[in-house]
Structure 1
Amino acid sequence: MSYRGRIAPTPTGDMHAGHARTFVAAWRRARDAGGAVVLRIEDLDPLRCRPEWTAHAIEDLAWLGVTWDEGPVYQSARRAVYADVWRRLRDAGAVYPSTVSRKEVRDAAHAPHEDEEDAEPLFPPALRPPADAGRDAASPAGVVWRFRVPDGETIRFDDAVRGPQAFTAGVDFGDFVVWRKDDVPAYELAVVADDVAMGITEVVRGEDLLRSTARQLLVYRALGAAPPAWCHLPLVRDAAGKRLAKRHQALSVRELRARGHTPAEVLALAGAGP
């Protein structure tokens, strides 16, 4: 299969320099391989995603010199794809409905990993329902759905930047959310569904998602789908060592553009060469 990459901004704010570096790197790897690039707008969250930020992301990418061969494809228009994947996971017994609150998870679980920013606590196996829970559900609406991880199994993969990686289910991560209570597909399900449907052969993204890759590999396996190759880039951090976020407005691509910076200067600021 020829190389197929993707650029997938989430329009919950303006793109910052760190995201710009990652998207440009993804574009370059695809072009160097003579492959295609899909632009996918990950706008699933109706409360946090806004049309103006989608427009800004597309404008900023074009200003950076990034081009794409397909898209933009909007996740908000692909609910049928995600519902089909949910049904397949339900039928395989890989997911289950959970009425356990976040507070109950926090109270019963181990503390989050200190090295994972914005981490959630491990979901305790004792709070899982019986193995056949949810098999007769007609839809995922109205309740959280979690993926049942194989406790004790180590998930391994090779990363183009970080080399061999290994995460143990039930230790490094627990049963994770694939469908939210507000009837929105969760990240782990949506990106796997899309990467399979779009034939993505390599995923290029930030190293904060290394642990997420282990979770997603379990989803690929449950679907009987071949996973892509992985390339996780170092994060861009501020002077205090915190990773850049969309709250760092001064380092947004739009703000840097307004101050007269060139695309090469923005990428240099983020640690990427011309």
Structure 2
Amino acid sequence: MSVERYIGRLAPSPTGLLHLGHAATFWTAYQRALQHNGTLLLRNEDLDPQRSRQEYVDAMIEDLAWLGIEWTLPMIVQSERIALYRAAFERLLASGHAYACTCSRRDLAQMTQAPHEETQADQPGNVDDEPVYNRKCRPATNSPAQSLQENTNYRFRVPDGEAITFIDRNLGSQSFIAGQDFGDFLIWRKDSLPSYQLSCVVDDAEMQITEVVRGADLLKSTARQILLQRALGLQTPAYFHAPLLRDEQGIRLAKRHHALAIRSLRQRGLSPAEVLKMIQV
């Protein structure tokens, strides 16, 4: 009986310096790979052209190595893989899973409350990257699109009322209701780039990732990505959602916490061992 080879990944975005929260999640991913005698890959999620910087790419590589986290080369770079995402998007379009959305930013702002409000964002699974869509542009049927419209956003049509369930290897059984906990979500942007959800699914499948280790704030994203995997006929990996680190006020750490950036802690003279002690949760 063969044993499945373990393949994990680190997936930082070069939009700022890595902080203690990132270190905690990436250290967990590294330890999980070691425990399974597996492989750990590094993916540079640089699909935000306005905020991604080469200096942050260099810093994240240096900071991860300084912590003692090792990965298998070469680094995967998302901006070099647009053709893969485009092909997956066109499959979703042809199968009727995607539709054009012409809502303006003002239209979207008038939907339900933004999910990044701290009252919701501090609860595991409630941090989200977009509010529940009000279906304004959703067609009556899920027929295939006649043609691809450039400079247009596209959404994935979720099966309203369906429970998306999975067993998280750290947090246990999880369940989210499509159309209630999350709505039709963005998969292709009008700047001809994929959304986080689509690029993540395509890359995890192409890289043959067997377990995704990431923060507990992305539980809803996992539910979305399971729907994309089903629509594209891709295998669903295992998931391990790590607890979030918080500051003294109980707010989850983010890139705005510059004083807790790995680079800042290094400059203050802390050793890798001292930083790793700080991230034990």
TM-score class, shorter-chain normalisation, is over 0.9
- The amino acid across from 1:123 in the alignment is Y
Matches of 2:64 and 2:150, distance apart in 1: 35
Within a 5 Å distance, the mapping from 1:157-172 to structure 2 comes to: 157-172=166-181
Matched, 1:127 2:137: yes
Task: After superposition, give the CA deviation of every residue in 1:220-262 in whole Å (9 maximum; x if it has no partner).
Answer: 0001111000000111110111111111110000010111111
Select 1:23's aligned residue among 15, 23, 26: 26
Within a 5 Å distance, the mapping from 1:124-203 to structure 2 comes to: 124-131=134-141, 135-138=145-148, 141-203=150-212
Bigger shift: residues 126-135 or 23-32: 126-135
Matched, 1:100 2:103: yes
1:222 is matched with which residue?
Answer: 231
Matched, 1:233 2:275: no
Select 1:110's aligned residue among 112, 116, 121: 112
Matched, 1:63 2:66: yes
Structure 2 SS opposite 1:104: helix
Matched, 1:254 2:263: yes
Matches of 1:71 and 1:141, distance apart in 2: 33
Cα offset for 1:270? 2.0
8 A Cα contact 2:102 2:153, kept in partner: yes
- The amino acid across from 1:127 in the alignment is C
Number of aligned positions between the proteins: 270
- The amino acid across from 1:17 in the alignment is L
Cα offset for 1:269? 1.4
- The amino acid across from 1:111 in the alignment is Q
Gaps of 5+ in 1: none
Matches of 1:127 and 1:137, distance apart in 2: 16
Task: After superposition, give the CA deviation of every residue in 1:124-149 in whole Å (9 maximum; x if it has no partner).
Answer: 134313435762324x6311110000
Matches of 1:14 and 1:266, distance apart in 2: 15
Matches of 2:34 and 2:73, distance apart in 1: 14
Matches of 1:98 and 1:134, distance apart in 2: 15
CA 1:118 to 1:169, structure 2 compared with 1: closer, same or farther past 3 Å?
A: closer
Matches of 1:48 and 1:81, distance apart in 2: 22
1:32 is matched with which residue?
Answer: 35
Matches of 1:7 and 1:117, distance apart in 2: 20
Matches of 1:234 and 1:55, distance apart in 2: 27
Structure 2 SS opposite 1:127: coil
Bigger shift: residues 124-133 or 92-101: 124-133
Matches of 1:241 and 1:28, distance apart in 2: 26
Q: Report the aligned-residue RMSD.
A: 1.6
Structure 2 SS opposite 1:218: helix
Structure 2 SS opposite 1:125: coil
Matches of 1:119 and 1:45, distance apart in 2: 14
